[in-house]
Structure 1
Amino acid sequence: MTKNSTPRILLAEDEEAMRVYLERALSKAGYEVSSVDRGTEAIPLLESQEFDLLLSDIVMPEMDGIELAQRCAEISPRTKVMFITGFAAVSLRASREQPHAKVLSKPFHLRDLVLEVERVFEEQRQASL
């Protein structure tokens, strides 16, 4: 976890309505959220700031979420990764290429997203004990 007590999430989602919706829900759940609309915009943030979780759509322009997750692992190996996608085949590819990353398929209820994010942080807390 980052040094402050509020977990930090980097959200990469190219669909504006979904990005705003997710950012608002995660902020209301008590997380500090930075959001970008493409993977290439996430890289400088990963290089300059600490994040506890990268929450990324898989299908995005310029750099897909799987490539972003691979770059994240190089830049910030402690940052956990969670994918969101509306495509089942893409979900299977993500599971193969990033086996430790959680994949949440659209459509999902915001409550489910928040619960999954909480699980990721709880696993991280348990691992650090």
Structure 2
Amino acid sequence: MNKILLAEDDNDMRRFLVRALENAGYQVISYDNGLEAYHRLREEPFELLLTDIVMPEMDGIELARRASDIDPDIKIMFITGFAAVALNPDSQAPKDAKILSKPFHLKDLVNEVQKMLTAA
């Protein structure tokens, strides 16, 4: 079973995402800020980091950079209403990261996650 680390500070959004991904067969560990997610990432491997960009304590871009340092093979997807921030070359977001702009349908999220995790 693929393990997903989710960092999303909006409680309702986080619950919806966890439920949708678990219903699709994924194991999801979620946190409401980037710093706690980073500490968990240091403890065990995950196949995918799914993170909001704008969060307290550590933003999603910093979390993604640190995740890539820990595990260069981890797949990263940003879920954000601020896609332009992630796309900005100055942000230093990992180059292979996927960006899913809010609002999105949960089915689209599950489809994108599945594509990322099945890609070689």
TM-score range normalised by the length of the shorter chain: over 0.9
* Cα shift readout 1:59-115 (whole Å, capped 9, x = no counterpart): 111111000000001112221100000124224227863220000000000000000
Identical pairs, percent: 58
Give the unaligned 5+ runs of structure 2.
none
Map 1:46-61 to 2 at 5 A: 46-61=41-56
Question: Does the alignment pair 1:34 with 2:29?
Answer: yes
Equivalent residue, structure 1, for 2:68: 73
Q: Provide runs of 4+ in structure 1 moved above 4 Å.
A: none
- Asked if the contact 1:91–1:105 (Cα under 8 Å) also holds between the matched residues in 2, the reply is no
* Partner SS state of residue 14, structure 2: helix
**Equivalent residues, number:** 119
Aligned ranges for residues 105-120 of structure 1 at < 5 Å?
A: 105-120=101-116
The unaligned stretches of length 5 or more in structure 1 are: 1-5
Q: Which residue does the alignment assign to 2:97?
A: 101
Q: TM-score, normalised by structure 2?
A: 0.93
Q: Which has the greater radius of gyration?
A: 1
Q: RMSD across aligned C-alpha pairs, in angstroms?
A: 1.5
